Structure 1
Amino acid sequence: MRVLGIDPGIAITGYGLVEDHGGDLEVLAYGDIRTPAGDPLPLRLRQLYEALCSLIQGYQPDVAAIERVFFGRNVTTAFAVGQARGVVLLALAQAEIPVHEYTPADVKQALVGYGSAPKAQIQTMVRMLLRLPEIPRPDDVADALAVAICHLNHARLSAIL
């Protein structure tokens, strides 16, 4: 199974493609999509959409996994991330790719065994599980890879049960 993990954002959207070969995880690609802060919002959303469509077309993921985010007080950030998230969901829906959402606690639980693990521990586990020479940067990329691994773990458990 080939999973596209996505950590959506208007400035930086992290992505990671991970494939499961019978329990052996292979990272196919990872990186980020950046949009210039000075550009108008509609242009930034289009740039994100086009880059994501190109990524989907190039790697043909079977499924996508996205972290379900919660914003307490910063309404402006919540709206911007919500709009970027909508663009991501649209691109995936148009490509007919199933989308699975996980809370940050779900991702932490799947990677290290408890839902309140610190970010640094999650990043270290991503590096170890994917046998990467270093922790992917920026954090958005490591988060995208983490949610992809989370989905693969959930899919494996679902197949057993």
Structure 2
Amino acid sequence: MRVLGVDPGLTRCGVGVVEGVAGRPLTMRAVGVVRTPPDEELGRRLVAVEQGIEDWLDEHRPDVVAVERVFSQHNVRTVMGTAQASAVAMLCAARRGLPVALHTPSEVKAAVTGSGRADKAQVGAMVTRLLRLDAPPRPADAADALALAICHIWRAPVQNRLQQAVTAHRAGRPAAGARSGPVTSVPPVRKGPTA
């Protein structure tokens, strides 16, 4: 599986391509940042982000695009810019028929470091280790994009099984691998008198 991770942002939009499957060593194919000038008009900045992501999609042909799920912060202006860049990334993927996976920052941190509260330095260090790099990718947005791709590769098999189970449940049939037949109950264990 080849995943394009996108850490959305208007000034710096991190992008990184990781290839591999869960349980095996992963390979970084490319990493970088799509930049836009902060003093540029918003519409032009969004077009620049779109063009940058389109270039990455053309060059690396991922199977999936993993985007950081935007969550509410204290600074509404920052959240709006991040949400707009996130929407551009999802639009670029959807236009090509590519699946889009959204992962929260805490999911990504937990997947990569083992702690949903890890800081950027810890994420960068683990990305470096997991991808066998010489140094952490800079800026941190680039490392975060790789972390998103790693998270998706590791979580995708479980998410796919869960989705299949939900779909099967809604259709009224057992999920693949589920036992069929009558459900039997086990009688409760009765305790004898205590001495």
* Range class of TM-score, shorter chain: over 0.9
User: 1:41-94 CA distances to partner (integer Å, 9 max, x unpaired)?
Assistant: 111111111111111011110001111132322111111111111111111110
Q: For the residues of structure 1 that align with 2:160 and 2:98, how far apart are their CA atoms?
A: 19
What is the aligned partner in structure 1 of residue 119 from structure 2?
Answer: 118
Q: Percent identity?
A: 45
Q: TM-score when scaled to structure 2?
A: 0.77
Would you say 1:59 and 2:64 are equivalent positions?
A: no
If you compute each CA radius of gyration, which structure gives the higher value, 1 or 2? 2
Q: TM-score when scaled to structure 1?
A: 0.93
Alignment length (residue pairs): 161
What is the aligned partner in structure 1 of residue 190 from structure 2?
Answer: none
| Matching residue's letter, 2:13 | T
Q: For the residues of structure 1 that align with 2:18 and 2:125, how far apart are their CA atoms?
A: 16
How is 1:11-90 mapped onto 2 (pairs within 5 angstroms)?
Answer: 11-20=11-20, 23-90=24-91
SS in 2 for 1:24: coil
How is 1:3-14 mapped onto 2 (pairs within 5 angstroms)?
Answer: 3-14=3-14
Question: Cα gap change, 1:26/1:40 in structure 2, threshold over 3 Å: closer, same or farther?
Answer: same
What is the aligned partner in structure 1 of residue 2 from structure 2?
Answer: 2
The list of structure 1 runs, each at least 4 consecutive aligned residues, that deviate by more than 3 angstroms after superposition, is: 156-161
Q: For the residues of structure 2 that align with 1:44 and 1:57, how far apart are their CA atoms?
A: 20
User: 1:76-131 CA distances to partner (integer Å, 9 max, x unpaired)?
Assistant: 11111111111111111101110111111111111122222222111100000111
What is the aligned partner in structure 1 of residue 169 from structure 2?
Answer: none
Q: For the residues of structure 2 that align with 1:127 and 1:87, how far apart are their CA atoms?
A: 28
Structure 2: give runs of 5+ residues left out of the alignment: 163-195
| Matching residue's letter, 1:6 | V
Structure 1: give runs of 5+ residues left out of the alignment: none
The answer to which structure has the higher strand fraction is 1
Q: For the residues of structure 1 that align with 2:117 and 2:84, how far apart are their CA atoms?
A: 27
User: 1:12-50 CA distances to partner (integer Å, 9 max, x unpaired)?
Assistant: 100000000671211100000001122211111111111
Higher relative contact order (CA 8 A, sep 6+): 1
Q: For the residues of structure 2 that align with 1:160 and 1:87, how far apart are their CA atoms?
A: 28
CA-based RMSD = 1.7
SS in 1 for 2:108: helix
Q: Pick which of 149-158 and 92-101 moved more.
A: 149-158
